[in-house]
Structure 1
Amino acid sequence: MAEGNSFVSSTVHVDVKDYYGKRLQKTSDLQSNACVAPAEPTPPFIRQALKKVHPEVTARYYGCGLVVPECLEGCRILDLGSGSGRDCYMLSQLVGEKGHVTGIDMTEGQLAVAMAYVDHHMREFAYKTPNVSFVQGYIEALSEAGLEKNSFDIIISNCVVNLSPDKKKVLSEAYSVLKDGGELYFSDVYSNERLTEEIKNHKVLWGECLGGALWWKDLLQFAEEVGFSPPRLVTANVITVDNQELQDALGNFKFVSATYRLFKVPKGNTKPCQVIYNGTITGMEENFKFDCRYTFKVNEVVEVDAEVSSILTNSRFAADFTFQPPGGPCGPIGVKPKAGIVDPFELALQQEKQGPGSDTGGCCRTQDATCCK
């Protein structure tokens, strides 16, 4: 796929471009009616931001769910596979005029829609200077697309990494353009085992985000090899496939939609500590769900392991917490989460039993197949 320092696109990219640039003209064109909105309620401030996005941009958006991390004011954000730009224009309002959002996509038609409405949205948001820009390029070759190394606070992606034939390269490029302390916050589709070549070569399954699904354990390995901290699982949802033809092609493979957060932080230099959430994150004034194990309640003392301690002290969240050594002065102490790797399939089953929660993360909650950008 790569020759020297020059990225070469593959037949997969050609097929995906055709699927999302020509075959799909609106959300309803997706086969099997897969991309439906998540059952979880969306916070009011995000709903308000989405209402201000131009209807044409929303109509040409092929994602599902929302991938919106916390604490965005003033941040520089990169959206991988930004499509028509819906999420970019929503995030534009959350980062504010002093922040910036960049969208990268390889599909000319989608980019044309996104770029056509930059001025419209800047007038709508009353911004004197545009804080949104779009770049054509591949998510496996961010530097070649002109994106500078160490330049973004946050990278988001909504059900796009599975469409890449080289997931490890995507993670490596993301790590390169993130600032120290930066985060890759993304939702995608994962399989319970490595998929067969037959499934990987099925164009419809790939276009519908199943054929390119990564075995979830491979994500853990790739992240470590690239340099990220171990992935923190935020939420996971079961994907069901009711289309009989697709189900027959998939056999016994199972799939989940899962949201992970990966951080570019130092390793091995931080010790466990106690943290107190200050309640200063917009929309999360009472509690902040960091991942499926840690939900920080305002003014509650929580013991965190060295890994989480490193993330909180070296990321944009540092100002939102008070840190003290283990055994320090205490307020009410929260329950200490269990350590270890979380299986997204087990979490998805747990969440399915519990019913809808309040997460905005998650790429797919479908009755039929799956979801795509």
Structure 2
Amino acid sequence: KGCICCHFDHVLQDYYGKILSQTSDLKSNACVPSAKPIPTYIRKALAEVHPDVTARYYGCGLVVPECLEGCRLLDLGCGSGRDCYMLSQLVGENGHITGVDMTENQLEVARKFIDYHMQKFGFKKPNVNFVQGYIEALREAGLEEKSYDVVISNCVLNLSPDKASVLQEAYHVLKDGGELYFSDIYSNARISESLRANKVLWGECLSGALWWEDFLRLAAEVGFSVPRLVTASIVSVGNEELQRLLGDYKFVSATYRLFKLPKNWEKKRCLVMYDGNITGSEEKLEFDAQYTFKVNEVMEVDGDVASILKNSRFSEEFTFHSQASTACCAKPKVMPVNPFELVEQLGSSDVLSSTGGCCGPQESCCM
């Protein structure tokens, strides 16, 4: 890690380990929760998390992909472990979740309650562990290559000065067919160096935001599939002093899903039918902003989505048909790749799904 990364590490460790002791200490309302209700099964899982863990949680919204039973998950920037303990119930005793964070003060809280939660969940052995390390250097922290089915991140990528390394490391530790499912803050233009140097703006998840076009480029360079935009919501800074410093920059919270697919897999359009066996998505699976799969409804998918469904953990949840097998099928919605345009198209400043996305009043952002 270079000296620039080390400088930002110390800034963030002080900000999240010392300056912030509770959610209300944050100076902006850059992160807002979804206005839509949280699904019952997730709400029940959250209710089982110890209140001391929840009190030290600085994340925004929820990042909960579907089809997790038995999976191995990695949570980047896990903080006090709230999401890890919630997700440990969803993966079950045969699954496992690892939380990684660079802030020892946060990890102390997380580790303190491992036995409490395992006993509460009725698990014979822990299915959660916490590792101190940097999200830019996961393998150096002892995480093995090709060992995780899903990597999640909740408003953490923007806190890293080396975002390419974060994406590269996530790619390396994912199994073939694995997914990076994450929410973060994006800007409408590349942030200036002077703003990036502002410690408060960085710690509040604003000046470290990626220009959304740079994100698409980085994802392709690392080797991920074309990013699937799940949700988007306009971010209102709320603090007059911070807004003055930011000038004309605009921000959006967005959830994306990226998949690690075989290099030479043929991307061929096909017809699919969702079987309805995923917990919480028994009637329909809202895969992204473009595709919603209804039970027993045949839908045409493009080559990218066909490759994702066939090569990921979703393969057993769908029946696949050749393109010529039926002439009558549902068509996907036409949606933009620009998250700012998605918000405009949907005509709402809050279009977050209930299981994805940073941000909103009352709740805070980042780790």
1:288 paired with 2:285, answer yes
Cα deviation, residue 39, structure 1 = 1.4
Aligned to 2:87: 91
Cα deviation, residue 357, structure 1 = 6.5
Q: Deviations over 1:127-164 (max 9, x none)?
A: 00100000000000000000000000000000001000
Written as runs of structure 1 = structure 2, the 5 A alignment for 1:1-373 is: 1-2=1-2, 9-32=5-28, 35-267=31-263, 268-329=265-326, 333-338=329-334, 342-353=337-348, 358-366=353-361, 371-373=365-367
Distance, in Å, in 2 between the alignment partners of 1:277 and 1:110 is 40
Distance, in Å, in 1 between the alignment partners of 2:360 and 2:347 is 10
Pair 101,33 (structure 1): closer, same or farther in 2 beyond 3 Å: same
Any unmatched runs of 5+ in structure 2? none
Distance, in Å, in 1 between the alignment partners of 2:357 and 2:35 is 10
Distance, in Å, in 2 between the alignment partners of 1:32 and 1:337 is 35
**What TM-score, normalized to structure 1?**
0.94
Pair 133,157 (structure 1): closer, same or farther in 2 beyond 3 Å: same
Any unmatched runs of 5+ in structure 1? none
Cα deviation, residue 64, structure 1 = 1.6
CA contact (8 A) 2:34 2:351 kept: no
Cα deviation, residue 284, structure 1 = 0.2
Distance, in Å, in 1 between the alignment partners of 2:87 and 2:243 is 36
Q: Deviations over 1:228-279 (max 9, x none)?
A: 0011000000001221110110000000000000000124513110000011
Counterpart of 2:224, as a letter, is F
SS at match of 2:313: coil
Cα deviation, residue 333, structure 1 = 1.7
C-alpha RMSD over aligned residues: 1.8
Pair 112,8 (structure 1): closer, same or farther in 2 beyond 3 Å: farther
Q: Deviations over 1:194-246 (max 9, x none)?
A: 01111101110000000100000111111111010011000000001221110
- Report which stretch shifted further, 26-35 or 128-137: 26-35
Pair 289,321 (structure 1): closer, same or farther in 2 beyond 3 Å: same
Q: Deviations over 1:8-39 (max 9, x none)?
A: 84211110110000001111221235555321
Pair 239,31 (structure 1): closer, same or farther in 2 beyond 3 Å: same
CA contact (8 A) 1:179 1:264 kept: yes
Pair 307,34 (structure 1): closer, same or farther in 2 beyond 3 Å: closer
Q: Deviations over 1:53-75 (max 9, x none)?
A: 00000000001200000000000
CA contact (8 A) 1:237 1:365 kept: no
Q: Percent identity?
A: 63
Cα deviation, residue 124, structure 1 = 0.4
Pair 165,318 (structure 1): closer, same or farther in 2 beyond 3 Å: same
CA contact (8 A) 2:5 2:162 kept: no
**What TM-score, normalized to structure 2?**
0.96
Distance, in Å, in 1 between the alignment partners of 2:309 and 2:40 is 26
Cα deviation, residue 335, structure 1 = 2.1
| Greater RCO (CA < 8 Å, at least 6 residues apart) | 2
